[in-house]
């Protein structure tokens, strides 16, 4: 009989004599610690708990971070953005049938949605967003995506799929999200066509108070686009440009 089976049998015996699950596990863990200690040098008899955890270099991938920055500017303070949310924290299964509960809870275990837009007051989820890169072209990912789509549909929560791009048009993204934030929610849009801006094009605005950059908190400066589709149009650009390239629309 393997050690795992022996400990499983021990747990059953402990439960049979009246111990609940947690005390039974504590007894088994204590015995395991004793056995492990016997196989080590006596000078190391007292062992410190092991925590082999390390901080990841990036919580969001470069592609996710790039999209998040645009999405955050578009949504502004009308909603709250959450990233990499476990499906088990969003959806639940009724416990009226224990076997059904376990089966369907396991199906969403270890699955997450890339971005979740929530109501800024109640934190009620409004819409989920999946950022689809090339990995979503694989057969296994397509099957996974189809399942997640059905989960969102069954629960009545919208789910948007956005392809990964080098750059995103904020106005287009705002138009996609706006229906889920209510008719009265007018999302920010901003000039997104690449433009060349020089110091001589930066203007002051005596009639309008300069807004604060939503990305870095710096003061925004009124500028004029010199090239591109928006040539001649004025917009608010971050004073920390080019370190921060955040832009906001200007209505003069």
Q: What is the DSSP string of 39-90?
A: TS-GGG-SPPPP------S-SS-HHHHHHHHHHHHHHTTSEEEEEEEEGGGT
Distance CA 113, CA 73 (A): 20
| pLDDT the model gives residue 211 | 84
pLDDT along the chain (252 residues), means of 10: 65 73 74 64 64 91 93 89 96 89 93 95 94 91 95 96 91 89 45 33 46 77 76 81 76 72
| pLDDT the model gives residue 214 | 76
Q: Measuring CA to CA, how many Å separate 251 from each of 37, 82, 115, 148, 209?
A: 72, 30, 30, 41, 12
Strands 220-224 and 112-119: unpaired
| pLDDT the model gives residue 190 | 35
Q: Which of 11, 4, 38, 47 is nearest to 27 (CA)?
A: 11
| pLDDT the model gives residue 88 | 95
| pLDDT the model gives residue 2 | 57
**Alpha helix positions (H), 17-61:** 21-38
Distance CA 187, CA 180 (A): 11
| pLDDT the model gives residue 187 | 39
Query: Given strand 112-119, what is the order of strands in its sheet?
Result: 79-86, 112-119, 125-132, 159-163
Structure tokens at 54: 């390390």
CB 87 within 8 A of CB 113: yes
| pLDDT the model gives residue 204 | 36
CB 169 within 8 A of CB 71: no
CB 82 within 8 A of CB 118: yes
Domain ranges of the chain: 3-44, 62-180, 190-252
| pLDDT the model gives residue 186 | 39
Q: Measuring CA to CA, how many Å separate 17 from each of 14, 21, 32?
A: 5, 12, 20
CB atoms within 10 A of CB 16: 9
User: What is the reported pTM?
Assistant: 0.56
């Amino acid at each position: 009989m393997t050690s795992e089976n022996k400990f499983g049998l021990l747990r059953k015996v402990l439960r049979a004599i009246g111990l609940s699950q947690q005390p039974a596990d504590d007894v088994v863990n204590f015995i395991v610690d004793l056995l492990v200690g016997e196989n080590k040098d006596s000078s190391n008899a007292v062992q410190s708990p092991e925590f082999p955890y390390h901080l990841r270099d990036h919580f969001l991938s470069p592609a996710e971070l790039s999209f998040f920055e645009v999405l955050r500017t578009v949504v502004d303070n009308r909603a709250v953005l959450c990233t990499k949310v476990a499906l088990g924290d969003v959806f639940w299964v009724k416990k009226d049938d224990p076997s059904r509960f376990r089966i369907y809870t396991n199906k969403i275990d270890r699955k997450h949605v890339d971005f979740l837009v929530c109501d800024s007051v109640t934190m009620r989820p409004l819409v989920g967003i999946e950022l689809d890169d090339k990995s979503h072209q694989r057969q296994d990912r397509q099957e996974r995506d189809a399942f997640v789509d059905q989960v969102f549909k069954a629960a009545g929560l919208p789910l948007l799929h956005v392809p990964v791009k080098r750059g995103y048009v904020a106005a287009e993204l705002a138009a996609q999200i706006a229906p889920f934030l209510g008719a009265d929610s007018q999302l920010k849009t901003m000039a997104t066509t690449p433009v060349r801006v020089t110091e001589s094009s930066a203007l002051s605005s005596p009639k309008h108070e300069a807004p604060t950059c939503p990305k870095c908190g710096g003061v925004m400066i009124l500028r004029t686009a010199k090239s591109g589709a928006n040539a001649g149009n004025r917009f608010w650009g971050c004073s920390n440009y080019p370190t921060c390239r955040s832009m906001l629309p200007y209505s003069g």
